[in-house]
Amino acid sequence: MGRMKMPPGINAIEEEPEDYDSPYSNKATLGCVINTEIAAVLAVMRRNVRWGGRYMSGDDQLEHSLIQSLKALRKQIFSWQHQWHTVNPILYLQPFLDVIRSDETGAPITGVALSSVYKILTLDMIDQTTANVEDAVHLIVDSVTSCRFEVTDPASEEVVLMKILQVLLACMKSKASVMLSNQHVCTIVNTCFRIVHQAGSKGELLQRIARHTMHELVRSIFSHLPDVDNTEHALVNGGNKVKQEVRGPDSEYAFGAQQLDNGNSGSELDGQLSSGSFISNSSTAPISGMMDEFGAGAGKDAVPVDLQMMTEPYGVPSLVEIFHFLCSLLNLFEHTGMGPRSNTIAFDEDVPLFALGLINSAIELGGPSIRRHPRLLSLVQDELFRNLMQFGLSMSPLILSMVCSIVLNLYQHLRTELKLQLEAFFSCVILRLAQSRYGASYQQQEVAMEALVDFCRQKTFMVEMYANLDCDITCSNVFEDLANLLSKSAFPVNCPLSSMHILALDGLIAVIQGMAERIANGSLSSEQAPVALDEYTPFWLVKCDDYGDPNHWVPFVRRRKYIKRRLMIGADHFNRDPKKGLEFLQGTHLLPDKLDPQSVACFFRYTAGLDKNLVGDFLGNHDEFCVQVLHEFAGTFDFQDMNLDTALRLFLETFRLPGESQKIQRVLEAFSERYYEQSPQILVNKDAALLLSYSLIMLNTDQHNVQVKKKMTEEDFIRNNRHINGGNDLPRDFLTELYHSICKNEIRTTPEQGAGYPEMNPSRWIDLMHKSKRTAPFILSDSRAYLDHDMFAIMSGPTIAAISVVFDHAEHEEVYQTCIDGFLAVAKISACHHLEDVLDDLVVSLCKFTTLLNPSSVEEPVLAFGDDAKARMATITVFTIANRYGDYIRTGWRNILDCILRLHKLGLLPARVASDAADETEVSAEPGHGKPVANSLAATHMHSMGTPRRSSGLMGRFSQLLSLDTEEPRSQPTEQQLAAHQRTLQTIQKCHIDSIFTESKFLQAESLLQLARALIWAAGRPQKGNSSPEDEDTAVFCLELLIAITLNNRDRIVLLWQGVYEHIANIVQSTVMPCALVEKAVFGLLKICQRLLPYKENLADELLRSMQLVLKLDARVADAYCEQITQEVSRLVKANATHIRSQMGWRTITSLLSITARHPEASEAGFDALLFIMSDGAHLLPANYVLCVDASRQFAESRVGQAERSVRALDLMGGSVDSLARWACEAREAMPEDEVTKMSEDIGEMWLRLVQGLRKVCLDQREEVRNHALLSLQRCLTGVDGIQLPHILWSQCFDVVIFTMLDDLLEIAQGQSQKDFRNMEGTLILAMKLLSKVFLQLLHDLLQLTTFCKLWLGVLSRMEKYMKVKVRGKKSEKLQELVPELLKNTLLVMKTRGVLVHRSALGGDSLWELTWLHVNNIAPSLQSEVFPDQESRQPETQGHQVSEETVSAHANESLANNGS
């Protein structure tokens, strides 16, 4: 068998194994295929009488040459020994192509031959590697495009045309298509287009197929564009070098102008078709002219192209030619006056739609590659876009929709090259059509809005509009206008919600969600410093170093936007007062301090919103500076290669031409000078330009002023302008063109003021093309949030308002969800860009939709809420925002709290909202105990004391709601009610309201403070007297939450403390009766102190001082809660005793404990706390010593409880001496000398307070307590060895404590109230013993006193009184026995120590004398018993006085002698 055909691009190798991929790879198989086709053609030919018989015209030829060549081929095909791709395809194609070209064959025969060629092409028998492939494909195209046949019936004609289309498309799609030349590709397109055109008069099917084929052709051709080499000749296969392209958008090769092989033009395709079928109806009439242009170099602008280039394998030349042809199909309507503004019915949308579809396909496939080829790009930038602008205003929604799709494609692929074109499209098309006020139909509005929303869905679209247009002083604020348009269009004003509103909302939310997504990508601009101009730089020259680097372009566009805003403000000032406007701009450094003409001219030229009348007056002024500004102003225009009338139109659009002729003269002089400088064309000097400009202004007035009745003719105009060009005439056709231009299109000398979206006219388009050469490069944004802060600040207000209004009007859940997504995106952006005001606005807006703030007119608010999906979604959203973005909520907390309170009133809050918030820390604070019992204390007592709280369990609440009057039996809730209630519960669950408070520790400081303030505000001012139970319930709940967040934020207590304390103080001081609120306030305060003391030592005093509020409670309130307060204080002390350091803090604690001493219920807990502090001196400190002793004394004196407790209190007092001794010892060991002295004084002072306290208890009515107090006092007076009290203190102690106590006891014993004091005798005995014992034990110290004598006499006088005391009316025998004995003992010790010694030195010895004077009154016999040897000398001693020094000296001496 023969060799196989190779896959494309692989050269045949002899030893290659057989390739079974294709059924047609075998030589014989391919031979059979061709044989089959020959047989098919011959068979059809034989059926025709003309071919079936013998061919008789010549003797030498028996058969017709067409049949002969087919038969000859049949003989050869099986005898070829070479591989197929080495066989010249012309050999086996030529017979078929001859049949196709022959005008003798009928339609059926031509059709079969075309099918054969189609089959050969589609079997991939021919590819790039095939021998002589180039000539073969060219031959196929030439033959098929010059196909001839006899028409027998319309149906067979249509079949042939379809097959022609089929074969041409197969040519373009085959692997060999890269060998086609530019010229042949153009021919194929030309032929297909002719068939499309002809099909208008044929059947529907042919029309469809023809158009489809045209689309496929364009797709096939333009899909090669990305593969074209980026060289000037730029061909698909890059094979041969050709001469450089001729530049310019219109320099394409003359389409279809070449003659085809047989000398007939391609139009002969139609030549033999049924007559009159070429132009079938009026709608296609313009096409024939169009095609002639296509075949004649595409109109007047075409530049002949090097013919060699057209014979090269196809590339850019043919693509440019085809694209230009497609664009020119759109121009067609300009020429025929079928513009988009004409009557809708007469306007046929068919051809433009077809052309736009082809263009769209070309752009989709050519895509970004177009920018590599300047000629294609310039076609897109100018001709295509100009047509799109015009068709954009078409009344046909289909055309508008197609135009928008093309622009979206262009945006995707080529936006960097189309900056000003895109601006014009949005300003002149989308913004005009999307609003009804410009006369657009509803359908147009809808299509424009859909297109805009599609753009908004491109993530970077709005950012790029903002960066490139809004931040450019020469461009309009497209981003701002589009954002406002979307917000306004989403607003249903006095009408129900329509699909248009939802569409606009989708666009808005797409923009917002784009911003929200960018947040995750970093680079938030809130860190950027605000822009400020420190010095003057020409604002129109501000440039960016690198438009590709965000580090450069971001600050650059922000600065440019700042300048633009300032210029707008300057324009506003200028419109009110030009002088002040310029001064304002000098103040903001946008104009120099000394005005120069150029800067003022640029201000006029580049600032939008200026009053054009004022600008015109300024420019026309004769003042020298104004004239300079005028010339600089004219210098900002680019009139290069522009017609005079176009230039004049552009110039006069920027201001209003003044009325006075001198001003007009000055303005036109400046214009003419600039025009002549740039576009002299045929004008010889600037005077010619001036005269002609004047003439045009006059013609304009003449033609368009209604008061001028006799209008100037063309001849008049030409006559008026004779000899003005340097004495010569201007060319007649030049003037004629100017005349008609002005007549058709007025020059507006009073341009419209202010905003609005202008229509695009030819002169503006020319100006746009000029500007686009100079405009700043297009900035491409990536997915980071560089400018979102600035953009969001512009659109946030209208956006929130629009979403809210739609949400309000909406009735479908999917619309609710869209709105909710929008709200959440707005919240995210506000939070991440730190726009707290925006977030607050959003929260306020959302809270309204929860329906929780409405005064409840509904009978069953819980069920109504359950049935209202909108309210439930809004509620979940509010709390989602509060939980996620609470850091940035400020005043919004008030609204959120209002919602929480409403839920609380309805009994819908989980019971744990406040308690969990507070107790979470409890667990972590005391991990060993789990939750202490104490924790529930406040709660358990609150309900019993306060107003009865309503049932707070959710189901309990529900049953209350559904129960009717108590007499009636309770109705069972219906299915619907249960479902509604279930929904309500699920909603509240999803809100996670409790985590707002439990997670408050993570809130930013400012937000936390606002939350606390909101709670205080929501709780309301406490009222004296009765408030309603509901108000009190609210106040209690708010207070619980306030305490919870205080406890959760112990590290930031300083921030909250002042507000919390003041709030609690208000409650405490304004409450006169026990109630839940004051209870919560007091116990909350104690709990805060209890929890925070360990963590906040610097605040300890502040916290403890706050507890003094408890002391300020009204007596009735204090009484009601005394026991619990004491338990809390006791717990606080036990937990935090080590953290309480200051005297002030302890004073508060001990004051609270002391009060309880006399309270029956509370005293136990109070004493317990005191025991904890004082037992073994555990927590006694110099700071709290006196306070604790005083508190113990109060407990000792208190008659509440058993006497045993008073005794224990006395033990605490007595035991506290050990602490004093310990401190004294520590001080001596550790402190420097001077501090030790100071410490000793302090300890002495404390000791004195201790014994004074005990002295008071010694007078207690209860014998047991009184006597125990005496013993404790004795212990404190005698057990002070370690303290080293100063001697002087003892004198004080005897005077203030011992003597006073003895005197008081004596008075009681003798007084009237003996019946209250049982067994005083025993107490007096103990007191006497104490006196004696203390005196003797301290004798050594007392002797150091200068007042020893006086003190000793005090002792004696007390003994004397006690000797004589009458208890219950009779003298006490026990005392009369005891006193002499004690006295004797004392005297003996004094004698032994040498204190009481008789000396007869100079001056006598008064101590001796006085002693015996008193002793003799008590027991006269004692002197002789103690000093038996002194009796005889007694009289001598009388009358002598002893000096104090002597006594002291004696004492010292005797101590020295006797030891101690």
Active site residues per annotation: 660
CB atoms within 10 A of CB 1418: 20
From CA 1216, how far away is CA 1196, in angstroms rounded?
14
Collapse the DSSP code of 181 into the 3-class scheme (helix H, G, I; strand E, B; otherwise coil) and give the result.
Answer: strand
Give the number of other CB atoms < 10 A from CB of residue 1176. 11
Backbone angles phi, psi at 1244, to 5 degrees: -60, -40
Show the tokens assigned to 90: 């012309």
d(CA 452, CA 465): 13
Rounded Cα distance, 456 and 510, in Å: 6
Written in H, E and C, the secondary structure of 29-82 is: HHHHHHHHHHHHHHHHHHHCHHHHCCCCCCCCCCCCHHHHHHHHHHHHHCCCCC
* Residue keyed to tokens 């002072």: 1245
Backbone angles phi, psi at 853, to 5 degrees: -95, -10
Handedness of CA 155, 156, 160, 162 (dihedral sign): positive
Q: How many helices (H) and strands (E) does the chain have?
A: 68, 2
User: Beta strands of 398-508 (E only): which ranges?
Assistant: none
Distance, in Å, from the CA atom of 1254 to the CA atom of 1269, rounded to the nearest integer, reads 6
- What is the distance between the alpha carbons of residues 665 and 663, in angstroms, rounded to a whole number? 5
Pairing of strands 1366-1367, 1370-1371: antiparallel
| Residue given tokens 């007297």 in the structure block | 1025
Spatial CA neighbour of 555 closest among 531, 537, 573, 590: 531
Buried b (16+ CB within 10 A) or exposed e, 298-337: beeebeebeeebbebbbbbbbbbbbbbbbbbbbbbbeeee
Cα torsion for 1060, 1062, 1068, 1069, to the nearest 10°? -170
Say if CB 678 and CB 640 are below 8 A apart. Answer: yes
Is residue 1217 within 8 A of residue 1253, CB to CB? The reply is no
- 1318/1295 Cα distance (integer angstroms): 27
The residue count of the chain comes to 1460
* CB 317 within 8 Å of CB 189: no
CA–CA separation, 729 and 736 (whole Å): 13
User: In this structure, are residues 1094 and 1047 in contact, taking their beta carbons and an 8 Å threshold?
Assistant: no
DSSP for 905-966, written as a single string: HTT-S-THHHHHHHHHHHHHH-GGGSS-GGGGHHHHHHHHHSPPPPP-SHHHHHHHHH---T
Would you say 279 and 285 are in contact if contact means Cβ atoms under 8 Å apart? yes
Q: Are 606 and 474 in contact (CB under 8 A)?
A: yes
**How many Cβ atoms from other residues are within 10 Å of residue 1192's Cβ?**
33
309: left (phi over 0), alpha (psi -120 to 50) or beta: alpha
Q: Are 473 and 567 in contact (CB under 8 A)?
A: yes
Report which of 671, 664, 699, 663 is spatially closest to residue 687, judged by C-alpha positions: 671
Q: How far apart are CA 209 and CA 220, in angstroms?
A: 16
Helix (H, G, I), strand (E, B) or coil at 1367: strand
Contact between residue 670 and residue 763 where contact means Cβ atoms under 8 Å apart: no
